[in-house]
Amino acid sequence: MFLRILLVSALVLWSSASLAAKEQPLSFDAELSNYQYDLPVQFFNFSSQNTPLKMAYSYLKPSNNMPTVVLMHGKNFNGHYWTNTANYLNNKGYGVLIPDQIGFGKSSKPADYQFSFAVLANNTHQLVSSLNIENPIVLGHSMGGMLASRYSLMFSSQVSKLILLNPIGLENYLNYVQYKDTDFFFKNELAKTPEKVIAYQKKNYYDGKWNSSYEQLTHFISGQIQGPDHKHMAWVNAKTYDMIFTQPVITEFDQLNMPVSLIIGTRDRTGPGRNWKKANVDHELGRYDKLGKAAASLIPKSQLIELDDIGHLPHIEDFERFKGALDKALSF
């Protein structure tokens, strides 16, 4: 009897401890030290703006002399969400380079950095050169689409193809949106909670749908919100907004001289600054069912691949349909 009581007590204690562990809130530091990516991560050490920095990246080498695809992540993401895309490309023989931009993912988070698409493009070009990658295909999603565009404009002779996946910046926000100081975004970042992050993504990315795969992509954000570097991360995140609103790329699309494919989920309505438009501006931001066509018309050699009833993240929401679009873009 006594032994049975001991066993029952031990089982109760173990169950309680397990439950407590499961309920332990996510917590990650600024550089996601304890957050595991699916692909091996390396670091490129360099200096920029008189600051020693490290850029995290994953690199899968090509086979049979195939080109390398450089994947550029969006603002609310990091290189980790490219895993399925990277494996798909690498299985077809392509090399794949996935950098975490400075200020994002596992890369350095300098508080005093002057963020611009030009400096992020230059940093990435240094990484590409260090790996002896020549004439890559550049693919950017969301904010990464603006970065990929700037990279392709700066290093046009060294980019073989450009692929834009539901990029933001297909409209010039300077024309429609009031300017907001970094302090405005800092306040917004400090007010974020894991629940608010999920609610935003569920509504704006997935049309009200939600599953464990979508939720997993919010874990790093939730962990940093609840982590030891929350205030620092809020400031760095706030500083990366200015370039989105003040450094348009759409005005230079006519200068893109490589083949450009736009893969557009037409349900997407992502419209940065929608809540603080200029007075008397009737323009509806984020109409991707129209923006893709307008952008394609500006680019000398372009193709538009529209995916009906898909939102801001085609490679996450419907990977099978995305694969078909990606294959078409790679062959363009």
**Nearest to 258, CA basis, from 163, 327, 323, 189:** 163
Tens-digit pLDDT profile for residues 103-116? 999 999 999 999 99
| Cβ neighbours of residue 184 closer than 8 Å, sequence gap 6 or more | none
Per-residue confidence (pLDDT) for residue 4, from 0 to 100: 54
Q: Tell me which amino acid residue 111 is.
A: A
- List of the chain residues with pLDDT < 50: 2-3, 5-21
Distance of CA 290 to the CA centre of its chain: 22
Tokens of 264: 């557009």
Per-residue confidence (pLDDT) for residue 24, from 0 to 100: 85
**Nearest to 160, CA basis, from 66, 249, 21, 224:** 66
Torsion of CA 132, 136, 140, 143, to 10 degrees: 50
Residue identified by tokens 């899968």 is: 60
Query: Left (φ > 0), alpha (ψ -120 to 50) or beta: where does 93 sit?
Result: left
Q: Rounded CA gap, 118 and 44, in Å?
A: 18
Distance of CA 259 to the CA centre of its chain: 22
Q: Rounded CA gap, 129 and 122, in Å?
A: 10
pTM of the model: 0.92
Helix (H, G, I), strand (E, B), or coil: what is residue 306?
Answer: strand
Per-residue confidence (pLDDT) for residue 284, from 0 to 100: 96
Distances (CA, A) of 109 to 55, 113, 236: 10, 8, 7
Tokens of 290: 């129209």
Paired residues of 265 in beta bridges: 307
Domains of the chain plus CATH, in order, are 26-330 (3.40.50.1820)
Tell me the backbone φ, ψ of residue 226, rounded to 5 degrees.
Answer: -95, 5
| C-beta of residue 235 within 8 angstroms of C-beta of residue 276 | no
H helix count then E strand count, the chain: 13, 8
- Cα-based angle 305, 244, 307 (whole degrees, multiple of 5): 15
